[in-house]
């Protein structure tokens, strides 16, 4: 496996791959089973698989976990090697933003896509994501790039950018990988230190599963707002006495294609959720 961290070194490799199909899996490292599924999917889709690892400062807010974000690079490297990745691209912040974060030209996705859900709580986050993804696509020149469905709003923003800017790349969504407990895999799960925090984190997938079961058992479409409120309160209330703070940031039903709010719960609707378990922010989503 080649490990490169500059565009010149990458381009030298790229020239050797002439005529071959390249798939990119962009990551921020701290690789887990979810990323491994993305890499395996990329392997099926192309001759050459490139993984990028870059903890992108542009997508973190000032109060967020940029400094403490896990960076187990040796472990990540071993995982990529084991999965037969052809090239690992690990640029430094200086290589990626040579004139600093304030001076970089940014991609600003439309407000309608970014002012709700995660965007409402993480101002500038999707500008940071869109900018770094465009830079990675331009620099690494893949024909296909694989993104996880766990970051549903991010996927939506990237698909829109690719369409709007006519980028010559196919975006492939990959289903969320879950622990046996139902917890969606995330690099931030490693911040869940105590047994109580790990149990509390299951509240997100429990809420989504219970809503889905209620919808399947109902004779007619259920009203979104009251159903989501009832089920989330039932699941979250017991945590008030357990010494773990579980704070719902949002739980919303949207139409799967447009992300417009859905008034009723029925097939074709997606549920989006974000919550803090103590200091750890987790997100999840599920299609009805
Ligand atoms: O999903 C992620 O890990 C990041 O947001 C991404 C797409 C690699 C951009 O930094």
Q: Mean pLDDT over residues 189-200, rounded?
A: 95
133 and 167 belong to one structural domain: yes
The rounded Å distance from CA 64 to ligand 1 centre is 15
| CA gap 130, 176 in Å, rounded | 21
What stretches of the chain show up as alpha helix (H) in DSSP?
A: 7-16, 33-45, 73-82, 93-96, 111-114, 118-121, 125-140, 152-164, 195-201, 203-217, 224-236
Answer yes or no: is the C-beta of 133 below 6 A from any ligand 1 atom. Answer: yes
In a domain, 180, yes or no: no
- Residue 242: pLDDT band (50, 70, 90) is confident
Residue nearest to atom 5 of ligand 1 (CA): 129
Range of the domain at 125: 2-174
* Percentage of the chain exceeding pLDDT 90: 98
Label residue 64 exposed, middle or buried (CB < 10 Å: 0-12, 13-18, 19+): middle
Atom of ligand 1 nearest to the CA of 148: 1
| CA gap 42, 32 in Å, rounded | 15
Q: Known catalytic residues?
A: 35
Answer yes or no: is the C-beta of 137 below 6 A from any ligand 1 atom. Answer: no
- Residue 219: pLDDT band (50, 70, 90) is very high
What pLDDT score does 241 carry? 84
259 in Cβ contact with 120 (< 8 Å): no
Answer yes or no: is the C-beta of 152 below 6 A from any ligand 1 atom. Answer: no
| CATH code assigned at 242 | 3.30.1300.10
| CA gap 82, 88 in Å, rounded | 12
The rounded Å distance from CA 128 to ligand 1 centre is 9
In a domain, 81, yes or no: yes
Q: Is residue 240 pLDDT above 90, yes or no?
A: no
Indicate the number of domains in the chain: 2
136 in Cβ contact with 50 (< 8 Å): no
Q: What is the DSSP letter of 182?
A: S
Q: Mean pLDDT over residues 193-220, rounded?
A: 96
Q: Is residue 33 pLDDT above 90, yes or no?
A: yes
25 and 160 belong to one structural domain: yes
């Amino acid at each position: 496996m080649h490990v490169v961290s500059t565009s010149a070194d990458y381009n030298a490799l790229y020239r050797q791959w002439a005529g071959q199909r390249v798939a990119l899996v962009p990551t921020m490292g701290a690789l887990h089973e979810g990323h491994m599924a993305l890499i395996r999917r990329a392997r099926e889709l192309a001759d050459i698989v490139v993984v990028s690892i870059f903890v992108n400062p542009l997508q973190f807010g000032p109060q967020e976990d940029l400094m403490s974000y896990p960076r187990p690079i040796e472990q990540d490297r071993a995982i990529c090697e084991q999965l037969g990745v052809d090239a690992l691209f690990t640029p430094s912040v200086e290589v990626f933003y040579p004139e600093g974060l304030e001076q970089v030209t940014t991609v600003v996705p439309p407000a309608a896509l970014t002012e709700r859900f995660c965007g409402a709580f993480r101002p500038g986050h999707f500008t940071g994501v869109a900018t770094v993804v465009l830079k990675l696509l331009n620099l690494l020149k893949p024909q296909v790039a694989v993104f996880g469905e766990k970051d549903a709003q991010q996927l939506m923003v990237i698909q829109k950018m690719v369409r709007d800017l006519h980028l010559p790349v196919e975006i492939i969504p990959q289903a969320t990988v879950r622990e046996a407990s139902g917890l969606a895999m995330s690099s931030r799960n490693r911040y869940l230190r105590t047994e109580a925090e790990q149990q509390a984190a299951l509240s997100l997938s429990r809420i989504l599963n219970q809503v889905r079961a209620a919808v399947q058992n109902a004779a007619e479409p259920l009203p979104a707002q009251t159903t989501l409120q009832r089920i989330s309160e039932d699941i979250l209330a017991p945590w008030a006495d357990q010494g773990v703070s579980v704070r719902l940031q949002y739980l919303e039903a949207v139409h799967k294609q447009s992300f417009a709010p859905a008034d009723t719960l029925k097939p074709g609707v997606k549920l989006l959720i974000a919550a803090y378990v103590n200091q750890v922010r987790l997100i999840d989503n599920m299609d009805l």
